[in-house]
Amino acid sequence: MSGNGDIKTEKVNLRELVRGSNSRILQQIPGFAMNLLEKLIMQDEINRMIDKYRDHKGVDFLPVMLEEMNIRPVIKGIENLPDNGRCFFVANHPYGIADGLLITWLMSSRYGDLRAIGNDVFMLIPQLRPLIAAVDVFGSSSYREYIRELDKVYKSDIPITHFPAGLVSRYRNFRVQDSRWHKSFITKAIECKRDIVPLYFPGRNSFSFYLTSVLRNLFFIKANLELSLLPREFFNKRNKSIEIIIRKPISWKIFDKSRTPQEWAGWVREQTYNPDYQ
């Protein structure tokens, strides 16, 4: 593995992110509050790990991160992984970072290269950016170029991981679960003839994470404050075992006209949470 000049120098810098934002409110945050925010997101710890493993990138970065954190995957249903990895590997999203790390590690261990769709948290870590679909055009002013590059990923032969909810799980109906799953993975599965393999993470984040979410909604605060807690939630997983349950693959051929793509997305979500679907 060779070193990468950009990875050696690039760090997470909250102050620069705030200065580069279009929000006047963020740009007016006083210095003492910025110091607190940097501690809250554990910026120094994140940057220490970026620097320590600056010579690892992409799939090579995943196992060293698990070893560094001493996160022990407990995998059930490994026999459900198909021989051909040209699938959508979709999952519920209870953790925010640890589940993204584990699903990409698991798929790369089995199939080699892969791409992750829509995991913005990974964009903060330069070593993980090679795993993000269409990463070369993130931030580009050309939306068409982005869509074109993303379409190449869908039509390729490499595995794709995805969290269809798009958001980390919250308390809903008195239990921790995802919001509605978006339909795009269904339409792309049909279009690109990719089977779907659901994975289920039974875990949850800390009480403070969900309390922050409840209070934010109670006081009608639109800003997603609990997102700033995700790095801390990740480091709280240090020295822990995390269970991953791999469900049976679902053929893209079953997604017929009897249901809309959104209804099929809801059905796959139900199978992911269903303990009898094994």
pLDDT at 25: 67
225: pLDDT strictly greater than 90:
no
Give residue 137's pLDDT band: very low, low, confident or very high (50, 70, 90): very low
Q: Give one DSSP letter per residue of the chain, joined into a string.
A: ----HHHHH----HHHHHHTSS-HHHHT--HHHHHHHHHHTTHHHHHHHHHHTTT--GGGHHHHHHHHHT-EEEEE-GGGS-SS--EEEEE--SSSSHHHHHHHHHHHHHHS--EEES-GGGGGSGGGGGGBTTGGGTT-S-HHHHHHHHHHHHHSSS-EEE-TT-S--EEETTEEE--PPPTHHHHHHHHHT-EEEEEE------HHHHHHHHHHHHTT--S-GGGGGHHHHHHTTTT-EEEEEEPPPB-GGG--TTS-HHHHHHHHHHHHH-TT--
pLDDT digit string, tens, across residues 164-209: 999 999 998 889 999 999 999 999 999 999 999 999 999 999 999 9
142: pLDDT strictly greater than 80:
no
**Rg of the chain, C-alpha, whole Å:** 19
216 vs 223: CA distance, rounded Å: 8
pLDDT mean over 69-89: 97
For tokens 């959104």, name the residue. Answer: 262
Q: Where in the chain is the domain with CATH 3.40.1130?
A: 57-273
For 273, the enclosing helix (H) or strand (E) is: helix 261-273
254: pLDDT strictly greater than 70:
yes
pLDDT mean over 101-113: 96
For 199, the enclosing helix (H) or strand (E) is: strand 195-200
136: pLDDT strictly greater than 90:
no
Instruction: Read off the DSSP letter of residue 53.
Output: T
pLDDT at 120: 64
Selecting from 3.10.20, 1.20.1250, 3.40.1130, 1.10.10, what CATH number does the domain 57-273 have? 3.40.1130
